[in-house]
Structure 1
Amino acid sequence: MSKQTIPLVVEDISPFARALARQIDDGKERPSHLSVMNMISRAAGFRNFQHLRAAHMAGGRLANPHAAETIDHQLVERSLNRFDSAGRLRQWPSRRKIQDLCLWAFWAALPARTLMSEREINARLREMHTFNDPAILRRTLFSLGMMTRNPDGSDYCRKEQAPPPEARELISLLEARRRAKAA
């Protein structure tokens, strides 16, 4: 008859190990809490408790790669407050970090791999802000490396890259705001 595997699921190994250590009493010196956690971990096929914990943390990161990213939610909130209910930038922010984050929303709204003239890019940018200065947006997008252009200022194109975590959060919040306004 083959041996049946019975999984052991414990919410937190630390109290489990403490309880197990209290139960181990064979007249010798009782093993410490850490020794018992290492014993349990080795019994599960790991080198020690740190190996078990590292494997568990890596599994969580692989299951949800964006969960390990830290997002400055306060910066996202400050940037989001610069946009109106339709998702248009109301005024050019004075703080550089907020400017840069707001520009990612413009970058995301531009078509990928599409050459546009200066007139076309200005028309698209005008739709996304209310202070009527597409030149500052276009120039800053270019200077931050979010767009490319020919030396003569023609043929603008969005540069494909991965936005930072705060930018992804802001872009998704603005998309939700635009969808809610459209509905």
Structure 2
Amino acid sequence: MAYGVVLRPDAMTSRSLIELSHAIGDGHEPLMLLGEKAPPHVSVLHMDCAEDRTAGIVAATAPHRGRTFEALIIGLLYAVVPPGDYYVPTGGYYFGLEMVRSPELDALHQKFLGLGHTPLGQVDRNYRPHITLGMTAAPPSRPPFPSIPSGVIPLTMSSGPVGPFGTFPDLVS
């Protein structure tokens, strides 16, 4: 099963990111937009593991629960995702907030890579912290510039099964 460790923003920040996701993606054949079953998050690592081994991943998150991590936003990125992508098999248009790959975020990523499960997505040298705001089948719109967040976002750790398009409908906080 696909299982992941993620960092989540607080409720107020999450609401504003969900609004931004919909401002960009609504009306453009959305494949995935942020919401209740697709909460905003910065992935630490997505892994393929047997269902009976997820308890070890949850245990590895225990020392980090309740701790605040900071992620610095670089900016808003739009990208074309070709068909055949693991998370978006049909292909489409990605839009999301890119984050600085800080030593702290990289160390977390390396720690969870060290658990030995098969990693999914961009990992190790290609690890790219980000918050996926959405995926659309048609080119998404551009939001009003002032609605794009900047600066540092405080985040806390969660884990759970990976859902469609790399979402986390059932996170364990």
TM range (shorter): under 0.3
TM-score if structure 2 supplies the norm length?
0.22
TM-score if structure 1 supplies the norm length?
0.21
Considering fraction of residues, name the structure with more strand.
Answer: 2
Higher relative contact order, chain-length normalized (CA < 8 Å, sep 6+): 2
Larger radius of gyration: 1
Considering fraction of residues, name the structure with more helix.
Answer: 1
